[in-house]
Amino acid sequence: MITITGQEPHASFDATDDRKAREACGVCGVYAPGMDVARMTFFALYALQHRGQESAGICTVERGIAHIHKGLGLVSQVFNEDNLGVLRGSLSIGHTRYATTGSSVHLTNAQPYLIETALGPLGIAHNGNLTNTPALRRDLLQRGVGLTSSSDSEVITQMLAGADGQTWDARIQDFMRTAEGAYSLAILTRDAVYAVRDPWGFRPLCIGRVNGSGWVVASESCALSTIDATFVREIEPGEIIRLGADGVTSWRTPARPRQALCIFEYVYFARPDSLLEGRSVHWVRRKLGARLAQEHPIDADMVIGVPDSATAHAIGYSNESGVPFGEGLIKNRYIGRTFIQPDERLRRRKVALKYNPLPDLSGKRIILVDDSIVRGTTSGPIVALLRQAGAREVHMRVASPPIRYPCFMGVDMASQDELIAAHQSTDEIARHIGVDSLAYLSLEGLRSAVPGNGVGHCQACFDGDY
């Protein structure tokens, strides 16, 4: 049996949509008998909000009965005391989403997906992107399976429901033999939560302990600390973990000989207080900024970062270069996602809705550090804000290499036509965004700051090696 509630606003405007590369999703799962797992999942999703701001959902199971609520918008907009109160049980999964495959406009593409199967309820929360989705969809449709959305996550749900095997353990392994691409999954069944990471390890996933007897899985470790869970370890590529009344069970399918954690997690996606491969993301970003200063020094009066994602990079640049770090742009952290449409004049000033320059930039030579340039659509307006505030020179330094190739593994940059560095030189981009100089971190410099000198990481968006 399944109970479903949901909400779908008619229209939305994201004033913070700066057209950066966007991660597909954040996922989490909780097994915690005697605890309010829906509330724990809510706060875990809150910590993962940076990974998806278009929809959110939570699914729980109580005595074999599944309950779900999901909607469009931020976690805080989708959930309240009333709808959390009906999400009872000791098992839960949650999801917060950006769209990569499947339009974000409709509630049908929001997750988790929940269906009834011969083995009881099945809920799926998915982070990533399957590369063989068209073939898998055709196979499902030819077998008479109906699909209600354009999302590959629904394909995963139906594949698991119809996979070979009399147990979920067997069906998950059968699914992994067929699926290709990136997937970190939180799976909810009648009596267990499963965490599954694809054999390449494209997207992160970790596990933690809560209250001595409960367990949590999440895309990032920052979600664990938010709900007072203790980080245990990262889930390995190709690993399946089962959380239930009989404890934690783990087994692995054959991993790929070459691992491929997305290197962009270190540059931008992950929260700075998370751990990846045993390293602090904040520490890695400061190293990236320091290496950037070594590769591209310039005389200036102040280093500022584009808040908040490039703050750590800018601190690293400042420490290495000796140029003082300062705040130059103040971010409006309360603008969030609004369902009030701005008029055309405000729409054109979208960046000004998000940032305000400090007046003490007047007459200064500024080094503006950003984590990346994807489409280049907001770098120009940000530079213009600094010029309007009186900056005498603006030199942009980017703490990652030029992004020239699309991603097919769950990141919103799947069209090469949209990538400014794919068809413009560095000098051309500098003229386009209006800076006095522009320089990127080298790929060698990026690799030097991450574990293993970049070995075991996907960096195809920079070098085209898929």
Given a contact cutoff of 8 angstroms between Cβ atoms, the answer to whether 58 and 69 are in contact is yes
The per-type count for the chain, helices as H runs and strands as E runs, is 16, 24
Sign, CA dihedral 99-100-105-107, equals negative
Burial status of residue 205 (CB atoms within 10 A of its CB: 0-12, 13-18, 19 or more): buried
Instruction: Tell me how far apart the alpha carbons of residues 160 and 103 are, in angstroms, rounded to a whole number.
Output: 23
Instruction: Tell me how far apart the alpha carbons of residues 69 and 60 are, in angstroms, rounded to a whole number.
Output: 9
Q: Indicate the DSSP class of residue 229.
A: P
Confidence at residue 11, expressed as pLDDT on a 0 to 100 scale: 36
Using DSSP's 3-state secondary structure scheme, residue 318 falls into: helix
Confidence at residue 24, expressed as pLDDT on a 0 to 100 scale: 62
Instruction: Tell me how far apart the alpha carbons of residues 325 and 85 are, in angstroms, rounded to a whole number.
Output: 47
**Tokens standing for 207?**
């596990």
Omega before 112 within 30 of 0, i.e. cis = yes
**Strands (DSSP E) found in 239-342:** 239-244, 247-252, 261-262, 275-276, 279-280, 302-305, 329-331
Q: What is the CA radius of gyration of the chain?
A: 22
Quick check: is 407 catalytic?
no
Catalytic option among 25, 222, 262, 458? 25
Confidence at residue 15, expressed as pLDDT on a 0 to 100 scale: 40
Instruction: Tell me how far apart the alpha carbons of residues 143 and 31 are, in angstroms, rounded to a whole number.
Output: 34
Confidence at residue 10, expressed as pLDDT on a 0 to 100 scale: 37
Domains of the chain: 2-259 (3.60.20.10), 280-463 (3.40.50.2020)
Q: What residues contact residue 55 under an 8 Å CB cut-off, 6+ apart? A: 70, 71, 72, 73, 78, 95, 96, 97, 104, 107, 109, 110, 111
Q: If you search the block for the tokens 């009333």, which residue do you land on? A: 82
Instruction: Tell me how far apart the alpha carbons of residues 454 and 207 are, in angstroms, rounded to a whole number.
Output: 24
Confidence at residue 14, expressed as pLDDT on a 0 to 100 scale: 45
Given a contact cutoff of 8 angstroms between Cβ atoms, the answer to whether 24 and 129 are in contact is yes
Question: Which residues on neighbouring strands pair with residue 28, listed in sequence order?
Answer: 94, 218
How does pLDDT run along the chain (466 residues), one tens digit per residue? 677 676 654 334 344 444 466 556 999 999 999 999 999 999 999 999 999 989 999 999 999 999 999 999 999 999 999 999 999 999 999 999 876 544 445 788 899 999 999 999 999 999 999 999 999 999 999 999 988 888 899 999 999 999 999 999 999 999 999 999 999 999 999 999 999 999 999 999 999 999 989 999 999 999 999 999 999 999 999 999 999 999 999 999 876 778 999 999 999 999 999 999 999 999 999 999 999 999 999 999 999 999 999 999 999 999 999 999 999 999 887 665 444 555 656 655 778 788 999 988 999 999 999 999 999 988 999 999 999 999 999 999 999 999 999 988 877 665 888 899 999 999 999 999 999 999 999 999 999 999 999 999 999 999 998 8
**Strands (DSSP E) found in 315-354:** 329-331
Rounded to 5 degrees, what are φ and ψ at 46? -60, -40
Containing H/E element for 422?
Answer: none
Confidence at residue 346, expressed as pLDDT on a 0 to 100 scale: 62
Given a contact cutoff of 8 angstroms between Cβ atoms, the answer to whether 97 and 135 are in contact is no
Instruction: Tell me how far apart the alpha carbons of residues 198 and 429 are, in angstroms, rounded to a whole number.
Output: 37
